[in-house]
Structures are given as C-alpha cells and as structure tokens.
C-alpha cells in the first residue's frame, strides 16, 4: 500500500522533472490511457483481495487495456465519432464496480478481525 503511494509520487516527480511536454491535441489520449491504467490497477487489487490474482493477466491487461483505449480514441477521432466516450463509460463503470467490491472486501476483512478479537 505504502509502496504504491511512494511509487505514485516518484512517477509524478519523474514526469515533472523530465520536462516532457505533450501537445494539447493528445490530451484526450493521455486521459483515456490514465483511466485504463487506473481500471486495470483497481481490477488487480480486487483480484488480489479475492486471491485470484495472476501477474501475467495483470501485466498483459494493463498494457492491452491502455493500448486498446488509445486505439479506440484514435479510430474515433478518424471517424469523427467520439468513440473514446465508449471507453470512458466502460472504464468508469468498471472502476466504480471494482472500488465498491474492494470496499466490501476490506469491510468484511475488518469485521472478521473484530469478530475474532471478540471471540478471544
């Protein structure tokens, strides 16, 4: 948990220090990629809590989702249809679901611990 937060900060710092700038035209792509990465990360955390986590699935899913989302946005831009909204909808939906599930698992976990304490 703490390691993740530290790495998030490191990532932000790296990005700020690297002085890479991206034209405004690509901001859509970047935001959709961030959304896809978040979705996969939360999916991974959920799978971890459910004890069905698979590193390979996570890694491939991470990159595949990002690529797919960016590709979808690109195709949408070419066709003149806001296809990225489909990705936003799908990822947003899954994000909420995953967060809800994670919350429930954590909630269950804390309740079980409390129960165990009481039983003692």
Partner 1 sequence: MKNKSIWLFAFATLLIGFMISLHLNIKPETEQRDTRDLWEIRTALQTEQERRIELQEEFQSLTAMKNDYDTTSRLAQIQTLQSSIKELMAQAGLTRITAPGLEITWQADFQAVESDEPFPKITSELLNRFLNELNLYGAIAIAVEDERIVNHSAIRDVSGRVYVNQRPIRDLPVTIKVTADDLERLSNYLAVSQSREDLLLHNITIDVEEKEELDIPAFSDQLDLEFISITDDLETGDE
Minimum Å gap between C-beta 58 and partner 1 is: 6
Minimum Å gap between C-beta 118 and partner 1 is: 27
CB count in 10 Å sphere of residue 46: 20
Identify which of residues 45 and 83 has a Cβ nearer to partner 1 in the complex.
45
For 31-107, list the strands marked E by DSSP: none
Minimum Å gap between C-beta 59 and partner 1 is: 7
Identify which of residues 5 and 79 has a Cβ nearer to partner 1 in the complex.
5
Of the candidates 104, 32, 18, 117, which has an alpha carbon nearest to the alpha carbon of residue 72?
Answer: 32
Collapse the DSSP code of 54 into the 3-class scheme (helix H, G, I; strand E, B; otherwise coil) and give the result: coil
Q: Which residues bind partner 1 (CB under 8 A)?
A: 3-16, 20-24, 26-27, 30-31, 33-34, 37-38, 40-41, 44-45, 48, 53, 55, 58-59, 62
Output the DSSP codes for 15-28.
HHHHT----GGGHH
């Amino acid at each position: 948990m703490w390691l993740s937060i530290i790495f998030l900060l490191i990532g932000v710092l790296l990005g700020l220090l690297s002085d890479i700038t991206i034209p405004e035209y690509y901001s859509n792509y970047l935001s959709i990629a961030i959304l896809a990465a978040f979705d996969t990360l939360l999916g991974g955390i959920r799978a971890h809590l459910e004890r069905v986590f698979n590193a390979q699935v996570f890694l491939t899913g991470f990159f595949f989702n990002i690529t797919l989302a960016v590709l979808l946005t690109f195709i949408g831009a070419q066709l003149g249809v806001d296809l990225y909204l489909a990705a936003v909808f799908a990822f947003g939906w899954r994000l909420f679901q995953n967060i809800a599930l994670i919350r429930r698992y954590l909630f269950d976990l804390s309740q079980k611990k409390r129960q165990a304490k009481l039983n003692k």
